[in-house]
Every structure is written in C-alpha cells, then in structure tokens.
Amino acid sequence: MSVLDDIIDGVREDLTARRSRVALEEVRALAEQAPAPRDAFAALNASNSGVRIIAEVKRKSPSKGSLSEIQDPAELAAAYERGGAAVVSVLTEERRFGGSLADLDAVRASVNLPILRKDFTVDEYQIWEARAHGADLILLIVAALPDEELRALLALTHELGMNALVETHTPEEVERAVALGGRIIGVNVRNLKTLDIDRSVFGTLAGLIPAGAVVVAESGVRDIADVEQFVAEGAHAVLVGEALVRHENPEATVRTFTRAGSALHN
C-alpha cells in the first residue's frame, strides 16, 4: 500500500465518523447559508501581476513530522494576508497533518482572502462541508480518484461557486486534469506514493498545461531560489507551507517570495 492509499483509508474512516455526527442534509443547509464564495481563480490568475503565493497553515506532514505548533492559526493567516498572499491554504486532514475544521474556521474568521481547504477529497460530503466552513477552493488529487468521480466532484464544486485545485504528478494526470476541465492545475513535485521530492518534475509538466489555466507549483519550496525556478518554468502561483510555518517571520517571507517571483515573472 502506498502512502497516498494509507492516507485516503484514514480520511474515509474519519469522514464516516463525521457523517454519523452531522448528516449530509444538515451540512448542505449550512453550506447554503454561508456567505458567497470568493473568486480563487481570479485571485490566482497572475497573467498581469506576477506570481501569487498560496500560503499554508500546516502543523505537520507525513515526511517531516511536526513542523510547527501553530498556537494561533488565525494570526498566522493574518500575517500571510499582510505579507501579500493571494490565497491561504488550511490543512484539515487530522491523522497525518494534524489539521482540523476548527483551524479552517479560525482562518476564515481572520482573513478576507480566498481559502483553500487542503484535504484529500474523496466524497461530495467534504465539498459541502468545505463550503459550510467558508472555504472557496478545494483540492482534488487526480491520482486519488477515477475520472468519473473526479468529474462529479469538480462539477459539484463549480455548482457551488467554488474552484478546485486539481493536483497532478505525471504527464498522464495532467492530460486527465485538462480533459476534465480543470481551470487551476497544480503540479506537485512530491510523489505522494513515496513522499520523495523531485523539483525537475514541475518544468516538464507545466509545459503540458494549456494557456488559460492557472498553473500552481506545489511542494519543495525552501527559499527564494525555488520560487524563482518555478516561476521561470511557468508557475503562475506557488504553494508554500513548511518554509513559512518554520520561519520566525512568515509575513516578511511571504512578501519576499511574492516580490522575488513577481520581478522574475514580469
């Protein structure tokens, strides 16, 4: 069993537990009462204004273990916003990443930016749940689901006025994401089956994504040089987690990454 398979098994178990506490009908009602979603596609479309940073609230990871205690996710997100982040990503997967919907709620209350609910979406319940908690953008991992399910989940996302970050790792997955109508396509340079990082993957796959889509580089960002490399290879946006939560001044780091990438992009 791969790391991805193991994570998804846990996600499905936790989803079953949440569904037993709060029925889908109740979650849908809450989603329908939520304020209208923010336009994450527009926020990430850097065609006229340089690179965008998706700044992540991330407590731990399967590859590195604990990254940061993050005692106040709301303040961290506010620092990201002050630094010029375009989107805030919030990990909500509990077992491997230490996240929660409570973190999502805290961040939603503290920033006016679009928010990405970063989780392993395998069921429509999670999309309604994301909207109920104020998320504007969800993650769909091509490697995790067959096309029929991906298409249905993407359609529901758009029906609710949200956007999806459609994540890919291989040329075949990029082809599937494009065929499914993905508008925001991510290239994750971390292999979710082995957790290995290969930054060279981004340049290869980014060139396969057609004009009109927002191209997002995911994982592997250590410093300005990595941001600049991804932008030079076609990234419109760069998702950064570990490098921000481990830094003593995340606001300044977001600002530095944004300026460095924008200067190169323009």
Calpha distance 74→69 (Å, rounded): 13
Active-site residue identified among 68, 81, 110, 118: 118
Q: If pLDDT is split at 50, 70 and 90, which confidence band does 66 have?
A: confident
Cβ neighbours around 211 below 10 Å, total: 6
Calpha distance 33→26 (Å, rounded): 11
Task: With CA atoms as reference, report the closest residue to 130 among 197, 55, 196, 34.
Answer: 34
Tokens 């990405």 belong to which residue?
Answer: 116
Is 60 annotated as catalytic?
A: no
| Residue 85 · residue 54 · CB < 8 Å | yes
User: What mean pLDDT comes out for the span 116-134?
Assistant: 98
Is 188 annotated as catalytic?
A: yes
Active-site residue identified among 163, 188, 191, 262: 188
Q: If pLDDT is split at 50, 70 and 90, which confidence band does 194 have?
A: confident
- What lies within 8 Å, CB to CB, of 218 at 6+ separation is 167, 186, 187, 188, 189, 190, 239
Is 159 annotated as catalytic?
A: no
- What lies within 8 Å, CB to CB, of 123 at 6+ separation is 12, 15
Active-site residue identified among 93, 173, 218, 251: 218
Active-site residue identified among 89, 110, 163, 219: 219
Q: What is the pLDDT of residue 65?
A: 78
Q: Which domains does the chain have, with CATH numbers?
A: 3-260 (3.20.20.70)
User: What mean pLDDT comes out for the span 38-62?
Assistant: 87
Is 48 annotated as catalytic?
A: no
Tokens 């396509």 belong to which residue?
Answer: 185
Task: With CA atoms as reference, report the closest residue to 198 among 206, 185, 188.
Answer: 188
Residue 48 confidence (pLDDT) above 70: no
Residue 10 confidence (pLDDT) above 60: yes
SS3 content of the chain, % helix, strand, coil (to 5): 45, 15, 35
